[in-house]
Amino acid sequence: MRVLGIDCGSERTGYGVIETDGKTHELLAAGVIRTSAKEAPEKRLLRIAMGLREVMEKFSPQAAAVEEVFHGVNAKAALKLAQVRGVALLTAAEAGVPVGEYSPLEIKTSVVGYGRAEKRQVQLMLQSLLRLDRRLDSKDASDAVAVAVCHATRAVALLQTGFSGRGVGA
pTM over 0.85: yes
pLDDT tens digits along 51-107: 999 999 999 999 999 998 776 668 888 889 999 999 999 999 999 999 999 999 999
Catalytic residue check, 106: no
CATH code where residue 157 lies? 3.30.420.10
For residue 105, tell me if it sits in a domain.
Answer: yes
Residue 5 has φ and ψ, to the nearest 5°, of -100, 140
Give the chain's domain count.
Answer: 1
For residue 40, tell me if it sits in a domain.
Answer: yes
For residue 168, tell me if it sits in a domain.
Answer: no
Residue of 101, 106, 140, 143 marked active site: 140
For residue 113, tell me if it sits in a domain.
Answer: yes
pLDDT of residue 170: 40
pLDDT tens digits along 115-155: 889 989 999 999 999 999 999 989 999 999 999 999 999 87
Q: Which domain holds residue 38?
A: 2-162
pLDDT of residue 164: 47
Q: Are 2 and 15 in contact (CB under 8 A)?
A: no
For residue 155, tell me if it sits in a domain.
Answer: yes
164: helix, coil or strand?
Answer: coil
pLDDT of residue 160: 54
Q: How far apart are CA 19 and CA 26, in angstroms?
A: 5
Catalytic residue check, 21: no
For residue 91, tell me if it sits in a domain.
Answer: yes
Q: How far apart are CA 69 and CA 3, in angstroms?
A: 20
For residue 145, tell me if it sits in a domain.
Answer: yes
pLDDT of residue 163: 45
Q: How far apart are CA 4 and CA 151, in angstroms?
A: 9
% of residues, the chain, pLDDT over 70: 89
Residue of 11, 67, 68, 133 marked active site: 67
